[in-house]
Amino acid sequence: MTGTSRIPSALDPAIAARLKRSVDGLVPAIAQQYDTGEVLMLGWMDDEALHRTLSTGRATYWSRSRREYWVKGDTSGHVQHVKSVALDCDADTVLVKVDQIGAACHTGARTCFDADVLSLGQ
Amino acid sequence: MTGTSRIPSALDPAIAARLKRSVDGLVPAIAQQYDTGEVLMLGWMDDEALHRTLSTGRATYWSRSRREYWVKGDTSGHVQHVKSVALDCDADTVLVKVDQIGAACHTGARTCFDADVLSLGQ
């Protein structure tokens, strides 16, 4: 463990029991705009970030670079209001449907996937 | 390295140079239905899986459990025809827009996120 997995957290033990974390204690969390379907960004959650996301209604991630919890929008104002949260079939990925205020990307783009489209067929 | 990152691969060196891999040499790859916007599943790619996805037009992942390349649909028939591929702003996540034939999930569900919706507010 690298200190990212803060167990025990207040996450529902029934969820914690089936969550399959990577070696660093994290799971990838896909943020999707709930009405348009846009994939906005991918963040990372440990148990406590998932708990805070579920309990506060504000998407909360673990920043791997800053090594701290990160409530999306606290600095930028670009808040993600949580509409639904689901685990995938292997319980190793989270899909968070949100209402994204403003830009999801720190570059100012609406999504983090707008700028770097790769060429196919080569 | 755990053997998952097969460098050199035939991936365009300009892409390989900016790709930011996790410690196991992989990046998460989000598969999204190109027209409806459904998030179908999350897989993992190394350089070679990304190269094969770009060059063949068939979404190709690295299976962490089986430790082999996995051309989605080769066994199930549930092929993903690639429509576009983008990197995110940090070049550490891939978004693959596909046309998913049949069910994306091995459970037979359309997406891997259909079955396990978590409760909010607790």
Contact A10/B at CB under 8 A: no
B-chain CB neighbours of A89 within 8 Å are: 105-107, 109, 112, 115-116
> Which residue ranges form the domains of chain A, and what is each CATH number?
3-100 (3.10.20.810)
Q: Is B110 exposed, middle or buried (0-12, 13-18, 19+ CB in 10 A)?
A: middle
Tens digit of each residue's pLDDT (9 = 90 or more) over A53-84 = 999 999 999 999 999 999 999 999 999 999 99
Please report the pLDDT score of residue B56 as a whole number: 97
Tens digit of each residue's pLDDT (9 = 90 or more) over A11-49 = 999 999 999 998 889 999 999 999 999 999 999 999 999
Q: What distance, in Å, lies between the first and last C-alpha atoms of chain B?
A: 40
Distance CA A39, CA A8 (A): 31
Average predicted confidence (pLDDT) for chain B: 93
Cβ B93–A85 below 8 Å, yes or no? no
Please report the pLDDT score of residue B120 as a whole number: 94
Please compute the mean of the pLDDT values over residues B27-49 and round it to a whole number.
Answer: 98
Contact B35/A at CB under 8 A: no
pLDDT of B84 higher than 90:
yes
**3-state secondary structure (DSSP) of residue B14:** helix
Cβ A113–B87 below 8 Å, yes or no? yes
Beta bridge partners of B69: B62
DSSP labels, B32-58: EETTT--EEEEEEE-HHHHHHHHHHSB
Cβ A86–B117 below 8 Å, yes or no? yes
Report the gap between the CA of B104 and the closest CA in chain A (Å): 11
Contact A85/B at CB under 8 A: yes
Q: With cut-offs at 50, 70 and 90, classify the pLDDT of residue B45.
A: very high
pLDDT of A2 higher than 80:
no
| Listed range (A6-15, A101-110, B45-54, B89-98) with the worst mean pLDDT | A6-15
B-chain CB neighbours of A17 within 8 Å are: none
B-chain CB neighbours of A95 within 8 Å are: 39, 113
Contact A99/B at CB under 8 A: no
Contact B20/A at CB under 8 A: no
Q: What distance, in Å, lies between the first and last C-alpha atoms of chain A?
A: 40
Please report the pLDDT score of residue A23 as a whole number: 84
Please report the pLDDT score of residue B8 as a whole number: 72
Please report the pLDDT score of residue A1 as a whole number: 40
Residue type, B64: R
